[in-house]
Structure 1
Amino acid sequence: MTTNQPVLHGLHHVTAVTAKAQANLDFYTKTLGMRLVKKTVNQDDVSAYHLFYADAIGSAGSDLTFFDWAQTRPVKIGAGTVSETGLRVLGGEASLEQWGKWFDQQKVAHSSIETLSDRPTLAFQDGEGQHLRLIAETGSATEVHPWHGSPVPISAAIVGLGSVSLTVDNVDATSNFLTDVLGFSNNESDSVLFETGPGGTGAQLRLHGSTQRGQDGAGGVHHVAWRVADSRELLDWQTHLESHGYRTSGQVERHYFKSLYFRIPGGILFEIATDGPGFAADGEDPEHLGEILALPPFLEPHRAAIEAGIKPLNYQPSTTSKS
């Protein structure tokens, strides 16, 4: 790590790809019990939805988002891809047992409970083969905002992102970039585990190697975003990355946050995003997030054309959950 190293504070969001927007919406809200906090469009491709699933208030670090690209090919997991996304759940191992039973009822493909980095976990897949893993909080979680529309007991609800797993063709090159440029620490007792900021669940990355090249697509992850507090920290990161010879997008205004994009060794797309201003920036009622198509101000004049170019989604949010 270099001196004056800026710090990433953990995961901000993970953006994946779906070819089946309605089925995706049903799965992540009705089966996983996450809240649809924003229904908008891809700002670079307004023919596609951008769906944001998160906790009850859309906290930074809780967002699992999807681009809706109906014609995209299926993902092929391999080198150059994000191979798994972890989601934090409350309630320890007992909650994973509840999830296993719920998945059986819903015919969701899943593994048995296993310990990973000293935490109980449960791997599963959505209907397009997206690789996901529930990671149980084993202590008292603080600052969590579970969504009361969850179909599982609120005591076992998903409350945020836990980790990401990357598969690369050159583990040493990516490992060196993570530690020397991004400031991650590598766990001495678990060589594939890297942590940033405060460490722990919500700030973890697992790194695996493969000689088989993967390809992005439906059922896979498009990019991983990491948290910074504000634009000043984002600018620090832009300066830091470019001083090490890495090209960046420069700061990009996403209305709900500001972003900086770059590719890491091996080709995976990373983003650094600010915590704010958050999903209330467009004036949407916090009690009714995700119920209408939300557009940033620069797209609002084109609303009629945008709405004409996308298929309506059927969404009936629930505000009650099992106790």
Structure 2
Amino acid sequence: MTEVARAAAADPGAAGQPMLDRLVALLDLEVIEDNIFRGVSPADRPIRVFGGQVAGQALIAAGRTVPPERHVHSLHAYFIRGGDPSIPIVYEVDRIRDGRSFTTRRVVAIQRGKAIFSLSASFQVVEPGLEHADPMPDVPGPDDLPTYLDLVAKAGEKLEPFRSMPRPIDIRYVTEPPWISRDTGPREARNQVWMRADGKLADDPLLHVCVLAYASDMTLLDAPLARHGVYWWTDKVIGASLDHAMWFHRPFRADEWVLYDCESPSASGARGMATGRFFAQDGRLIATVVQEGLLRIVGQ
């Protein structure tokens, strides 16, 4: 374990640049051997490893084996077992293919000799081609919206743990979060938030992609929960990410505001599906996300 990563795991911090620096440190994997890396988790994760963290670390591991002129354009991942935050995670990279334009990598995250997560990622050299994209929804800007902590305060004691949870990502809800809208019953299966890394990131495109991958696992399942007027901690909901896919369309900075526009086309069989689109503040569509998550309502 690197000294920076050890400090990041031991001191969770609160918010702002110090907390973002700790996230960057967590993504700075230790090299064990060729194609083998090791990562840690922050000390404040009491139950299981956050899915966005293991996805970001796995993508870093893959990217460390790819020439810097090739940029990740897609990833497909499965969450296999819950990760234990008290022990390191080993990432094994399989160099599937190095072509003239595309590079493919497969990564398996391992704890106690068992796979907890698998990821396939594809990288491509920059090429010209067709250009079009959906427009960004018309929404209020992030500076016109309440902070995350302001909204959590409205929920009272049930969401009190959220107030002290360190957050390297600044989040501003455009739509009412489920813990507020639940009081008025079910609503549209949609969730919109502005997000940005809460500080300044280095000019490394892979780092910005991995931070966005980390953030993409946050608030995505709010969309199916909002449709049914339930939420974590305020109701008896058991949930976990099952799989996750992302496509990166255009360059961006994760330390600048991006709109995360999420909706849920379906929920069935104790699973909820959500799709998300990331837009830069200037309206460019920068990434698309699809995830299915486990959503069990206890007592049903």
TM over 0.5: no
Higher-helix-fraction structure:
2
TM-score, normalization by structure 1: 0.27
